[in-house]
């Protein structure tokens, strides 16, 4: 049942809900064994930009026995209409209520979307708590980076898929089909699922707590349920399935271009960065395969821009060859190249020329910290001279705008480090005027700062986030230092960062908080107009749960961490070693220069730079 037109006429951007896009997959529901609703717990524009979902949508739909459809969080106006008319949240393709699917999958990309997931389950007519779901209710399966610590939503997910889903999801479909044929028994199905690598079934574990609220023990309920769940990776990225067709949204989305995934992982090892750890080991695709895939996607989609995606594109070992090959045909096809996530130390004139032939505008770098001392603490391995050199290249190439990303509230940060952010910006302005052949316009440096959030599976996972007042003081302090009118300073809302920090390192006790938050109508937290910090604090206060226990407490090195049951390859010993090196202000060379023994090589992987395990 599609949403009635009378409702579509009354909401903003009805194109979010109608479907019918180029590339959408329609099947006969009678012809498939498994129906899968792939949900993104945020709006259509954000969800449609996610590469992971696009990959998995294709993998599932390439199977004749599965129909994968899409679902998104409705905007507030649509939610109001659905509730007013007592209509369930439905899939985009066929308009089927979520409750009628075999699987409802959620891709969890950031902590702030947890409440959206609950709201979507509620709107879809599905019990929020997995324990309350009937035998024939949909299986709720969660994936995405947030599942590396699934504990805050453990009560709501039947299954969490840890790691990369390309092989995992089809395997899960096969297990399901087998059980469906035998007469489906939910408990038996979940038990079998738990025996497969990377498939974590939270309900099969008991957690006990110490008096101080930390975890005392984490034990499987049955002997053959694994105590540790190991993440899954795609070993050979060249052979990984890639979407040969993309659904082309009618309305503008965040990532409105071909996203060509060049490699997974990162050789760097910045100590605050979760992606840099959980996606290890590095696995590259070859330029030949990438060029071929880019052509197929350009034909199939009609996008006029290709974005080379990775955690740090200039670290790709064949970047020259790849960009040359792409540029040999993209110009003729009126397709522009876009290279996000450039590092200052590998940003060259050659690279710059390749992107500037098509696009003007600014350039973005992420020094992350204002002083060399603090950059060493976080292992950024970038020097001021690198930044200035990169900026000079940009200015010579006609750019006048530089955007610099920083983090505030990093471990050991002092006011001197904050001042360093402004000084760095001043130096960039000076560099502009010292560049012969600079553009005639006046330069602009935009400083954009985020608050440090300690994330699971990083060397800084034990660190406390500064309390809210201190985070806000730091922002004011830097604001007071920025005097130059050519420097603009933007910062993230510290309150949002605190909520993220709470859930990033949360345990199962937070499930109650999410449930209560959902009951009180908290959702769309990623949107300024809906985020309500005070409402969140009321929930914590009313339930007697201290948010500072999660956000602002230094976790003990001996403590059992909520995510210790997950094995990402990288060892806790390595993370600890890195933490200690941070305090000694010692850097660790990147993976290509020297193996630092993180442990991820045990997972294997082609075209990585790891020694064989």
Residues of the shown chain interacting with other proteins in the complex, contacts defined by CB under 8 A: 4-6, 8-9, 14-15, 18-22, 24, 248, 250-252, 298-304, 333-336, 358-360
Sheet containing strand 34-40, strands side by side: 66-72, 34-40, 103-107, 139-143, 159-161, 199-200
Smallest separation (angstroms) from other proteins to the CB of 526 = 23
Smallest separation (angstroms) from other proteins to the CB of 22 = 4
Smallest separation (angstroms) from other proteins to the CB of 7 = 10
Contact 392, 430 (CB under 8 A): no
Smallest separation (angstroms) from other proteins to the CB of 20 = 3
Phi, psi torsion values for 305, nearest 5 degrees: -145, 140
DSSP 325: H
Smallest separation (angstroms) from other proteins to the CB of 485 = 28
Smallest separation (angstroms) from other proteins to the CB of 306 = 12
Rounded distance, CA 333 to CA 297, Å? Answer: 12
Cis previous bond, 281, omega within 30: yes
Select 298 or 568, whichever has its Cβ closest to other proteins: 298
Contact 69, 96 (CB under 8 A): yes
DSSP 302: -
Select 252 or 414, whichever has its Cβ closest to other proteins: 252
DSSP 125: T
Rounded distance, CA 20 to CA 16, Å? Answer: 11
Select 334 or 612, whichever has its Cβ closest to other proteins: 334
Instruction: Give buried/exposed letters for 416-444 (b at 16+ CB in 10 A, else e).
Output: ebbbbbbebbbbbbebbeebeebeeeebb
Contact 350, 403 (CB under 8 A): no
Select 252 or 484, whichever has its Cβ closest to other proteins: 252
183: number of Cβ within 10 Å:
7
Select 225 or 358, whichever has its Cβ closest to other proteins: 358
Smallest separation (angstroms) from other proteins to the CB of 250 = 5
Smallest separation (angstroms) from other proteins to the CB of 10 = 10
Contact 55, 247 (CB under 8 A): no
Select 64 or 299, whichever has its Cβ closest to other proteins: 299
Picking from 545, 563, 523, the residue whose alpha carbon sits closest to that of residue 41 is: 523
């Amino acid at each position: 049942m599609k949403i009635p037109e009378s409702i579509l006429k009354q909401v903003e951007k009805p194109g979010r809900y109608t479907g019918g896009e180029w590339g959408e997959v329609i099947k006969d529901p009678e012809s498939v064994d498994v129906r899968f609703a792939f949900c993104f717990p945020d709006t259509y524009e954000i969800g449609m930009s996610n590469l992971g979902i696009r990959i998995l949508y294709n993998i599932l739909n390439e199977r004749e026995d599965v129909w994968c459809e899409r679902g998104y969080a409705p905007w507030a106006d649509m939610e109001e209409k659905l509730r007013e008319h007592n209509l369930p949240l439905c899939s985009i393709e066929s308009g089927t209520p979520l409750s009628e699917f075999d699987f409802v999958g959620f891709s969890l990309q950031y902590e702030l979307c947890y409440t959206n997931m609950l709201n979507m389950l509620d709107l879809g007519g599905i019990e929020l708590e997995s324990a309350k779901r009937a035998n024939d209710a949909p299986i709720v399966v969660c994936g995405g980076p947030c599942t590396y610590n699934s504990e805050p939503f453990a009560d709501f997910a039947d299954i969490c898929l840890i790691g990369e889903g390309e092989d995992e999801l089809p395997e899960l479909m096969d297990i399901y089909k087998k059980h469906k044929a035998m007469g489906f028994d939910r408990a038996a199905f979940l038990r079998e699922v738990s025996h497969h690598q990377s498939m974590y079934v939270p309900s099969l574990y008991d957690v006990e707590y110490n008096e101080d609220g930390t975890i005392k023990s984490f034990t499987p309920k049955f002997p053959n349920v694994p105590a540790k769940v190991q993440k899954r990776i795609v070993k050979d990225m060249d052979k990984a399935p890639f979407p040969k067709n993309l659904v082309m949204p009618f309305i503008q989305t965040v990532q409105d271009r071909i996203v060509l995934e060049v490699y997974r992982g990162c050789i760097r090892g910045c100590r605050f960065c979760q992606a840099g750890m959980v996606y290890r080991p590095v696995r590259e695709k070859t330029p030949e395969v990438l060029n071929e895939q880019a052509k197929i996607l350009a034909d199939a989609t009609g996008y006029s821009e290709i974005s080379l995606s990775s955690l740090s594109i200039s670290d790709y070992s064949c970047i020259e060859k790849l960009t040359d090959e792409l540029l040999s045909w993209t110009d003729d096809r009126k397709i522009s190249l876009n290279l996000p996530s450039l590092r200052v130390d590998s940003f060259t004139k050659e690279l710059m020329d390749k992107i500037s032939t098509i696009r003007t505008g600014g350039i973005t770098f992420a020094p992350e910290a204002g002083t060399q001392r603090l950059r060493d603490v976080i292992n950024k391995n970038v020097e001021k001279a690198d930044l200035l050199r990169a900026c000079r290249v940009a200015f010579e190439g006609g750019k006048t705008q530089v955007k610099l990303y920083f983090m505030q509230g990093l471990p050991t940060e002092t006011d001197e480090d904050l001042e360093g952010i402004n000084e760095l910006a001043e130096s960039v302005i000076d560099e502009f005027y010292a560049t012969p052949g600079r553009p005639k316009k006046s330069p602009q440096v935009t400083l954009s700062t985020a608050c440090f959030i300690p994330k699971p599976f990083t060397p800084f996972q034990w660190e406390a986030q500064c309390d809210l007042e201190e985070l806000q003081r730091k922002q004011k302090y830097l604001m007071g230092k920025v005097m130059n009118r050519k420097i603009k300073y933007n910062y993230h809302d510290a309150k949002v960062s605190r909520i993220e920090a709470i859930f990033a390192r949360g345990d199962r006790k937070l499930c109650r908080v999410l449930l209560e938050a959902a009951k009180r109508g908290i959702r769309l937290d990623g949107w300024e107009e809906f985020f309500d910090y005070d409402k969140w604090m009321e929930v914590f206060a009313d339930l007697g749960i201290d948010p500072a226990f999660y956000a602002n407490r230094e976790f003990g090195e001996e403590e059992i961490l909520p995510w210790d049951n997950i094995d990402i390859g990288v060892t806790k010993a390595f993370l600890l070693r890195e933490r200690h090196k941070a305090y000694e202000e010692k850097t660790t060379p990147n993976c290509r220069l020297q193996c630092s023994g993180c442990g991820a090589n045990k997972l294997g992987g082609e075209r990585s730079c790891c020694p064989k395990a």
